[in-house]
Structure 1
Amino acid sequence: MSSILVVDDERGIRALCGDVLGRAGHDIEAVDSAAGALAAVARQRFDLILCDINLPDQDGVSLLPRLLTGEPPPAVVLITAYPSIETAVRGMKLGARDYIGKPFSPDELRLTVRRALDEDELRRAHGELTKRLAYGSMIGDSPAMQQLRQTIDKVAKADASVLITGESGTGKELVARALHFAGRRASRSFTPVNCGALVGTLLDSELFGHVRGAFTGADTAKRGLFVAADGGTLFLDEIGELPIELQPKLLRALQEGEVKPVGGTSALRVDARVIAATNRTLEQSVKAGTFREDLYYRLAVITIDVPPLRNRPGDIAPLARHFAEDAALRAERGRLELTEAAIAHLVAQPWPGNVRELENTIERAVILATGNVLDVADVAARRPAAPPPALQTFTADHIPSLDDLERAHILRVLELCEGQRTKAAALLGINRTTLWKKLRQYGIEGE
């Protein structure tokens, strides 16, 4: 069952607790002083501590912080001859789980102990579920990933703004979700917004909301994602794409904790933790004048850099197996095994598109596989049948424009990447949204 420490200077109370709780199957140790209690908790971990408030050498309530050590800490129930609201509030503030007043019957004792232990078990189960939510998708035990998890553990407890940096496809949103679910806001909403997917008034309205009639088509009021994230976390992905004209409003929201809807006259108070992510070097954007320096420092209170996949090759095998299992479930087919040769091939690749590219590669292999084993031929990148077209060259009769050169270059990279836009964007040094905009601009979305 459970290990229980009884701390009381009355021999009769110690005997009663030992007899009743021992008969219930618990392991009991009893001491008669605060000094004895401290010696006992230094020696072993207890699941529950029953502690008298009036001890001969120290007040039981003031002893609480020293009893609540270890990971996880024990549940503590206070014993008092004079139960009162003041005693309960003081003890609860310091971490006590409950209290029981003297004299108490065996049934009262059993009920109080059972309730405290059940609640402790529920808290532990909740903690495990929260941890799985936070870290369940972060596969890998390389030193880089272990360091990343340790950093998340520390940062999640705070409410400071966080800037997550890293190449495209490294899993920055997974880190943001881990920060949310490992922190005190885990029970509230995690609200993601892609700053590169919307422009101008649309992004302004999405973030801050709008009042009815604020612009053409605003037939009803909208509260905005900042307000939707109140009490929780707002994740601003691709923050480097945020238009310069919206940056002062974001800065005010971070500094003052309030937002003003588009077309509105009064501000709304919000309490949302802001986590931002970018694959750009924002310091260069600050120097170029496309990103406000004050906003950068407000966002980058804490910076977390997500390592590229090529810097953690030891994680490629578990990631590949995880993706193969997930892809097989989605494809409604049996489990597939990766051969050692296939794993070795995957580990040897540079993965410019990082984890996202690896996931796409494995999913394609699973869908196209004819058997239950994935070998090198299944996971190897397909090669173009013909050499890629050369870039346009200058002639006396034709000097291509910059747009012509960019269009040709994008087409060439797409062909090299066999149409994989994530990989192409990574090779081009731009994000997926920017590539999508350029494809639409040059009329090559369907090519």
Structure 2
Amino acid sequence: MLAGAHAPRFTRPSAPELVGRSPAITRVQELVRRAAALDGGVLLTAEPGTAVDSVARDLHARSRHSTAPYVIVECAAGDAARLDRVLFGVTAEEAPTDLESVSSDSRIAAARGGILFLQDVTELPAGPQARLARIARDGEVRIDHTPVPTAFRLVASASPGIDGDVHAHRFRADLYRRLSAVRIDVPPLRERAEDVPALAVRLVEDICATRGIGVRTFTQAAQALLAALTWPGNLAELHDVLDRVVTETREDVIHVEHVLPALQLHRAPAPFVPVGNLREARLRFERDYIAAVLQHHDWRMAAAAQTLGIQRPNLYRKARQLGIPLARTSE
């Protein structure tokens, strides 16, 4: 289905989550570009902390329905009765049964002609799942007793474990098929570490613009430090750290020493037990940081030396002094 779709070239993403040039995110960019030219369901799978809503909005902005409504339903918010009211509204008990009936103040009615984005769709209770599956199958619905085409596109997000939910019958297989005409698996940050510097730049630009302050830039060393981390909380965690850095830094350039306190605050602190004197503590930090930069550059000494701002022979000497094992590659 995707192979024959025609769509314009992928331009600068409005979604920070799509920033980058790694093979993992380039594939996602291409799938979003192609999916925007189609009208079927789209399923976005991602780990917690991924900005899936921004990806769905980017897809909507690239589609031919970009001026139509974009309606979001947070399926994990509220109980079954509330979700039923939000999605379908309040309908009369004597409504005809040939089609699903919704009221004009429902999210289903509001999404006509545009996109209905179901965030965390596997959190939907069984009743709303069944009603949505029927609406998706019929392509029609009664709004205040009047039959009309639904004319909206279903886009949903879920954790990568949705397949297990389908197999265990916790999520309806027919609704899954409707949603996953196009499936886009958004990778976690740990699988696209090379994108973290560009993501950090974009996030800081957005944070500074929101606050009405001048844009901050990064040193290469600060970017390398960010890229060396695994970010289990994904983009949300990275955003929180950078928001704290911008809050607490008055300089125009963000250095490593500005990032480290934000990282320590963001993670649950371990009990502090002083070990050694100040010189020994500095040596431990220097060793850990140089090792992280080397790992980030796949142990390419020239690239690591450039990031660290030292000559390559000095990096070899530092590594030997600090006991950092070197995996040399031909350069």
TM-score normalised to structure 2 length: 0.69
1:347 to 222, 227, 238: 227
Q: Which residue of 1 aligns with 2:32?
A: 152
Q: Which residue of 2 aligns with 1:310?
A: 190
Deviation at 1:347, TM superposition (A): 0.5
Q: Which residue of 1 aligns with 2:207?
A: 327
Deviation at 1:136, TM superposition (A): 7.5
Deviation at 1:272, TM superposition (A): 0.3
Question: Where do 5+ consecutive residues of structure 1 fail to align?
Answer: 1-70, 73-126, 215-220, 389-447
Root-mean-square deviation over aligned CA pairs: 2.9
Is the Cα–Cα contact under 8 Å of residues 134 and 182 in structure 1 kept in the other structure?
no
- Once residues 286 and 147 of structure 1 are traced to their aligned partners in structure 2, the CA distance between those partners, rounded to angstroms, is 25
Q: Which residue of 2 aligns with 1:255?
A: 137
| Residues 134/183 of structure 1: CA separation in 2 closer, same or farther (3 Å cut) | farther
5 Å-filtered alignment, 1:36-435, equals 138-211=18-91, 222-259=104-141, 268-380=148-260, 381-382=263-264, 384=268, 387=271
Q: Spell out, residue by residue over 1:301-356, the C-alpha distance to the aligned partner (whole angstroms, 9 max, x if none).
A: 22110111111112111111121222223333333221222111101100011112
- Once residues 271 and 205 of structure 1 are traced to their aligned partners in structure 2, the CA distance between those partners, rounded to angstroms, is 20
* Aligned partner letter, 1:227: A
| Residues 335/302 of structure 1: CA separation in 2 closer, same or farther (3 Å cut) | closer
- Once residues 313 and 187 of structure 1 are traced to their aligned partners in structure 2, the CA distance between those partners, rounded to angstroms, is 34
* Aligned partner letter, 2:105: R
Deviation at 1:179, TM superposition (A): 2.0
- Once residues 317 and 131 of structure 1 are traced to their aligned partners in structure 2, the CA distance between those partners, rounded to angstroms, is 19
Is the Cα–Cα contact under 8 Å of residues 252 and 259 in structure 1 kept in the other structure?
no
- Once residues 190 and 53 of structure 2 are traced to their aligned partners in structure 1, the CA distance between those partners, rounded to angstroms, is 19
Segment drifting more, 133-142 vs 239-248: 133-142
- Once residues 272 and 253 of structure 1 are traced to their aligned partners in structure 2, the CA distance between those partners, rounded to angstroms, is 11
Is the Cα–Cα contact under 8 Å of residues 240 and 282 in structure 1 kept in the other structure?
yes
User: SS of the residue aligned with 2:38?
Assistant: coil
User: SS of the residue aligned with 1:323?
Assistant: helix
User: SS of the residue aligned with 1:246?
Assistant: helix
| Residues 287/137 of structure 1: CA separation in 2 closer, same or farther (3 Å cut) | closer
* Aligned partner letter, 2:116: L
- Once residues 66 and 224 of structure 2 are traced to their aligned partners in structure 1, the CA distance between those partners, rounded to angstroms, is 38
Question: Which structure exhibits the higher relative contact order, with contacts defined as CA atoms closer than 8 Å and separated by 6 or more residues?
Answer: 2
Is the Cα–Cα contact under 8 Å of residues 131 and 182 in structure 1 kept in the other structure?
no
Is the Cα–Cα contact under 8 Å of residues 134 and 180 in structure 1 kept in the other structure?
no
User: SS of the residue aligned with 2:116?
Assistant: strand
Computing the radius of gyration from Cα coordinates, the structure with the larger value is 1
| Residues 357/271 of structure 1: CA separation in 2 closer, same or farther (3 Å cut) | same
* Aligned partner letter, 2:131: K
Segment drifting more, 240-249 vs 329-338: 329-338
- Once residues 336 and 135 of structure 1 are traced to their aligned partners in structure 2, the CA distance between those partners, rounded to angstroms, is 20
